[in-house]
A and B are shown apart, each in its own frame.
Chain A
Amino acid sequence: MPEFLSVFFRDYQFINGYLPIFIFVVFAFAFAGVTLLVALLIRPNNPDPEKLSAYECGSPPLMEANERFSVRFYLLGILFLLFDVEAMFLFPWAVKYDALGLFGFVEMMLFILVLLVGYFYAWKKGALEWA
């Protein structure tokens, strides 16, 4: 930390460790703002209907996005979360597999077992039926 700055931060010693994060946040906002500003100044401006329509992976949009969804989308979202979180824990375990050894293996199997119980429960309750 530079000398001249520490005068201001003297009362906030415990925040010192967060200074890099603060600088990072400032730079993140500045970078986004500057990029948008520069683009606004130098880009050509000739809009047409194709360009202004919503981008849906290349295919033309069929309807407004702002409408009621089936509640099943949320159910599916929750089920997705189940396996997303599982994968998130599987990666570090796989990387450190040798160090964690048998204990890690058993723990991970227990974790997967618990998730499987939830999956079977959802399956049997008909969460995967689309009719």
Chain B
Amino acid sequence: MEFVFPAIFWKSFLPVPILTFGAVLVLLFDVFTSEKKRQTTFWLSIIVLLFTLVSCLLSEGESSEISFGGMYLFDGFTRSLFVIILFSSFIVVLMSSVERRFEQNSYGDFLGLILFATLGMMLMVSTRNLVMIFIALEIFSLSLYVLAGIFRSSSIGNEASLKYFLLGSFASGFLLFGIALIYGSTGSTDLFDIIKFYELSTQKLVFFLGLSLVIVGLGFKIGAFPFYMWTPDVYQGSPTVVTAFMSVGPKAAAFAALFRILISTSNFSGNKLEMMFWIMAALTMTAGNLIAIWQNNIKRMLAYSSIAHAGYLLIALVTIKQAGPLSTGSFLFYLLVYSFMNIGAFLVVTLAIKEDGSERILIDDFSGLGLNRSGLAISMAIFMVGLAGIPPTGGFVAKFYIFSAAIKSGFIWLSVIAVLNSVISVFYYFRIIVVMYMKDMSEDEKKEQFRFVWGSGLSYAVIALVICVVGTLGMGIFPSFFVDFALNSSISLN
């Protein structure tokens, strides 16, 4: 038997080994050193993430480079998603420095798991093979199941972790069964080969059954309409740092997989899948926005808001066939802006802790924040305005491109529904601003003061907050650079 060595483009593959060994290094460093290591592991993971980011910016991503026989695929789409995922992990690591609840020795585990989850997401956006999609999904899902319950003494965290694990593994089962059926009907798990073999397949029905099961599995991860039930409970129970992390990266990864699958199958699936995603998008955003109105808990509200945003992102997915680069471009830009705004909002929730270290859980707990903690309140207001999609924030530009892609592709009614949903969402986003600025806090709460010291955990989190604010505003005021970047990040068609 002659063993054929697969082609590897080392330059474009470099981010993956760097992050893999970096994550292992962080984990081992934490275990093998004894005291005063919290700062060092923190800096080590920051450095690993920056190295990975630089190495993926070094590759141009002009043309697609296929390594390991399609298992690893690097194109402009991959590159942009790498940047978004690495950026969100970077902010989350900065954010974690302010968290004081880590038990002894669990901070290194946390950082290691964050890096491994990042690796899984990166592998998922850079493959065209269904088996690789499944493995990458498991890498980041398993990390997230543990991360959700990283505070072992928190009963609500344990509940979230267990719920996420049970429902997540159930969804993985759907995905795996779907992959098996697709393999059974076409004889390949490589999306490129599946296109070629589809015409020869005698089992077209089995193929579409498998495809819909795969969509169920991925729809669970993005929190799309019928599969979103886990989102609020898990988002509420997980530590806020982890919630911020799981509201961006996993969605990005699952959407990327959906984009690749939909592009491959769009030639022969007619508009069946398009119709399915049309309905899914409309229901997802409507359900997310309508339920978010009734929430009193800030994290539950943000969870439903993230469901609604998954609905807007699904619009970009619907238009993939007609709008082409505009579809993927608007998706990437929306995701980038969304990661700034959403992580920023969770960052404010983390920073707005009371003096006894407990979080402000209810929306009413935020009353008077505008008068006593003006910096935090202004940032929160900017994120809420951004999430609602109002200029001059990036949220407006992002929505503009997604809706224009929908209108260009002829989905007028879908854009009408989306615009109406944006109007509904203004209610619950602005409710927080109203509570912050038009109600006063109790007297004994007013006394708390931030003591800002350079080099403290707090200062890193404040830097992260400033990055998020600047990003949200910057992409609204000077969007053209990022829009061009997103529109030029073409997805490879083979």
Contact = CB atoms under 8 A, between A and B. Distances in A.
B32 A124 contact: yes
A70 B175 CA distance: 35
A101 B4 CA distance: 11
B276 to A, nearest CB: 25
A117 B203 CA distance: 44
Interface in B86-106: 105
Interface in A10-68: 13-14
Given A14-B203, A14-B206, A121 B31 contact: yes
A96 B3 CA distance: 10
A34 B206 CA distance: 37
A89 interface: no
Contacts of B27: 117, 121
Given A14-B202, A121-B31, A125-B31, A99 B3 contact: yes
Contacts, number: 29
A58 B113 CA distance: 46
A100 B24 CA distance: 27
Given A14-B184, A14-B203, A14-B206, A121 B28 contact: yes
A100 B2 CA distance: 8
B5 A103 contact: yes
B3 A120 contact: no
Contacts of B5: 103
A72 to B, nearest CB: 17
A113 B28 CA distance: 13
Nearest to A104: B3
Nearest to A123: B31
A99 B203 contact: no
B1 interface: yes
Interface in A87-121: 96, 99-101, 103-104, 114, 117, 120-121
A117 B185 CA distance: 39
A117 B28 contact: yes
A114 B20 CA distance: 10
A102 B268 CA distance: 42
Contacts of A99: 1-3
Interface residues of B, number: 15
A103 B184 contact: no
Interface string B435-462: 0000000000000000000000000000
Contacts of B1: 96, 99
Binding site secondary structure of chain A: helix
Contacts of B2: 99
B31 A103 contact: no
Contacts of A104: 3
A120 B202 contact: no
B28 A120 contact: yes
Interface in B337-367: none
Interface string B163-193: 0000000000000000000001100000000
B28 A101 contact: no
A9 to B, nearest CB: 14
Contacts of B32: 120, 124
A104 B185 CA distance: 31
A120 B203 contact: no
A101 B242 CA distance: 43
Nearest to B20: A114
A48 to B, nearest CB: 47
Interface string B195-207: 0000000110010
A101 to B, nearest CB: 7
B104 to A, nearest CB: 12
B132 to A, nearest CB: 16
Interface string B232-245: 00000000000000
B382 to A, nearest CB: 41
Interface in B2-35: 2-3, 5, 24, 27-28, 31-32
A14 B203 CA distance: 8
A67 B185 CA distance: 47
A75 to B, nearest CB: 15
Contacts of A103: 3, 5
A100 B1 CA distance: 9
20 contacts: A14-B184, A14-B185, A14-B202, A14-B203, A99-B2, A99-B3, A100-B3, A101-B3, A103-B3, A104-B3, A114-B24, A117-B27, A117-B28, A120-B28, A120-B31, A120-B32, A121-B31, A124-B32, A125-B31, A125-B105
Given A14-B202, A14-B206, A125-B105, 5 more contacts: A99-B1, A100-B3, A103-B5, A104-B3, A124-B32
The 5 closest A-B pairs by CB, nearest first: A124-B31, A99-B1, A117-B24, A14-B203, A99-B3
